[in-house]
Amino acid sequence: QEGDQGIAAMQNRTASSLMDVGIVSIWHERGISFQALQLARTLDAEGFRTHILSRWESSRFSNAGAIHHPRVTNGGDDPAPSDVLSWVRANDIRLVIFMEVHPRDWKRVEHLKKNGVRVACYENLDILRKEHLSDYGLIDWFLCHTFYSSEVFRKICPDSRILFVPWGIPSGVCRPSGRGGDTTDEVRFLHVGGWGGINNRKNTDMVIRAFHEGGSGNSRLLLYSQVPIEKYGRECEKIVSSDKRIELYEGTVDDIFSAYGEADVLLWPSKREGLGLPVVEALASGVPVVISDGYMMKQWPVAGEHGVVCPATPRHGQMYLPEMDVDFDALIRLIRSLSEDPDKVRKLRTNVARDRRVWLWNWQGRVLCEMLKSVIEDGDYEPPEYHTYLPRYVLEHEKKRRASMNED
């Protein structure tokens, strides 16, 4: 079976007891928390016992519903390094994984390292600051979820040890969109604005204005937002209230994948992404995407086959990834073109459905868990080269994607 090459030897080894792993993360219903939960559930199913330490955004802390985990400690916004070490010792934790190392986390990382605790990080690149690049030398292991992020950390820390397993969505969570066999000419666009992101990085206001100007009469915009639409200004508020083609779903929903199930195209002209989770979620659900020409947005689709790319100009600053200034007029034209050409949308949907396995989480959990077992048992473990264990279809997709984005 594809993906087995190079890992057969790892599979012959079993843990004599549960291995305790700590995960440090924000904990409420937002993207990074769901990534942490998926990682925790994967490990818990394969001989590990995970413990969550919540820090940051403690006013929104929640451990219920879709984000529930049986072992969560609320550490507040900025837990003392000594308290984090006590949490590690009390739970016999053998490896701590930071889900994004925020600026105030470095004192915790340093304290753990001084006390002999091994530290890994799962870094979404949108929070990567240039002034902290040298600090990553403290990290023992990097868990990378994309080809691009693995390349970035090899460049930043040439001697780093990288566990590269492409991200995906569990097939039991997402399901192919029910719009696949639809023969109507209505085109349903979707935007999942969430909390909006720092500096409105998801460009929700631009999506509202661009759809209002570019969407044809047979198109609709399904707009999901976890914050009141007033956040995006009076103009957007007036558009949403007056444009009957826009359906607003405000607040946190129980199952965001139900939104993908009703959509034909995801509108995601983001300024900057750490993973591009909505892009992966949409593609795994069989929904093509409109993305901006930047990272991490364009890490996932093949341009022209799984979606279209909107021109954008990079604006460099204190962050490692530039913020993209999306071409508003070009976005209007793309929305108009797709809304007036339902046959093209259906063709894109067919292509996404054909390649859906690329964005699903199936073989990855087994490979990642075997690697982490080796990390815990052998501090000098050197992970295999990724081409020896990645499925052939993943490697072929990446080659095709790079060519479509003119990255070769």
For 41, residues 6+ apart whose C-beta sits below 8 A from its C-beta are none
Domain annotation for the chain: domains and CATH numbers: 8-171+362-404 (3.40.50.2000), 187-358 (3.40.50.2000)
pTM here?
A: 0.89
For β-strands 323-326 and 312-315, DSSP reports them as: antiparallel
Distance between CA atoms of residues 380 and 332, nearest Å: 53
Coil, helix or strand for 125? helix
* Residue 253, token pair as written in the block: 């929903």
Distance between CA atoms of residues 88 and 42, nearest Å: 20
* Residue 5, token pair as written in the block: 């090459």
Q: Which residue has the tokens 């004192």?
A: 107
Q: Is 383 left (phi over 0), alpha (psi -120 to 50) or beta?
A: beta
Q: Comparing C-alpha atoms, which of 356, 405, 363, 348 is closest to residue 189?
A: 348
Please give the pLDDT value at position 12. Answer: 38
Please give the pLDDT value at position 14. Answer: 42
Q: What is the mean pLDDT of each run of 10 residues along the chain (408 residues)?
A: 42 61 93 93 95 92 91 95 97 96 95 97 90 93 94 90 94 72 82 76 94 94 90 92 94 84 96 91 97 93 98 94 96 97 96 97 95 90 91 97 93
Distance between CA atoms of residues 325 and 345, nearest Å: 26
For β-strands 161-164 and 169-170, DSSP reports them as: unpaired
Please give the pLDDT value at position 190. Answer: 97
Q: Comparing C-alpha atoms, which of 89, 18, 47 is closest to residue 365?
A: 47
Coil, helix or strand for 163? strand
For 278, residues 6+ apart whose C-beta sits below 8 A from its C-beta are 192, 266, 268
